[in-house]
Structure 1
């Protein structure tokens, strides 16, 4: 096959690296962008540049934010005595959609996974323990809302064991969620029910 545009080919190759995007989808996106006005494409490009430049991690909970601390951590109306522990920042968005949880969050940034050489020191467990030791905002309950897969289970058990040394009630979201399913793919009603019927660890 003879390539008529090296620039288009490079764009297709880069787009094909996006999750869930194969070469054919990348080609359709690239051709679609070619047909758009310069202004529209430049707006998209600018938003991607700003995404990398301006978005950062909240120094308190670890979610992504434009301002530090994030709007959830700085919201005085949120319950300070309840922390929901999640794997990734997108889980915060999913839980927030349910309007079921009104406390604070703690994003681990992954799970313990020996096969991937990810241990407890590679995720934000130490920061969670520091938050629990902070007397300025006493924590009464820690909700473990990790994905119900092998890594999520291992991480939940590890955190639960550590929290036995703290005066805190450890709960987990209920198992109305199928094993092996990630929070990202669960509908809001199921997730809302899981929060409402959580049990002690």
Structure 2
């Protein structure tokens, strides 16, 4: 099963994949040379790839996208054959919500597949509540809202719990959509 892990710069995409991958993560991290350097030393310029044997007959192939919109051609390439995706949103950086909305619109224009919103950094000072982030991302109607999950990308169990929600959401879509 191909899952895309996307989101804004610094939301935890690479960390998410590294936390659970059973293989050495293939990454394309390079030193940050633009405004991203204020958030982190390295940034993904093409993709991250990891793998997790989720069940005896189900391997999850995890593809992480770059967070910067200048690499949106990679978003396009990676999302095309995905079964589902998760968008990670840094809940304590409301300045990134606009970029998250742009990323959501980009993905929705290209695919109609199950998606989950993963909220990271919820334990940081100034983090917005799930409800407020949902509204900021344009999900006003609770009935049409995708699943929201709070997670810590550094903790394997938290990432696995998030993947369970995403896989369950995907499985339900096979039978109920």
TM-score (norm 2): 0.42
Query: Which has the greater radius of gyration?
Result: 1
Structure number with the bigger relative contact order (C-alpha 8 A, sep ≥ 6) is 2
More strand by proportion, 1 or 2?
2
More helix by proportion, 1 or 2?
1
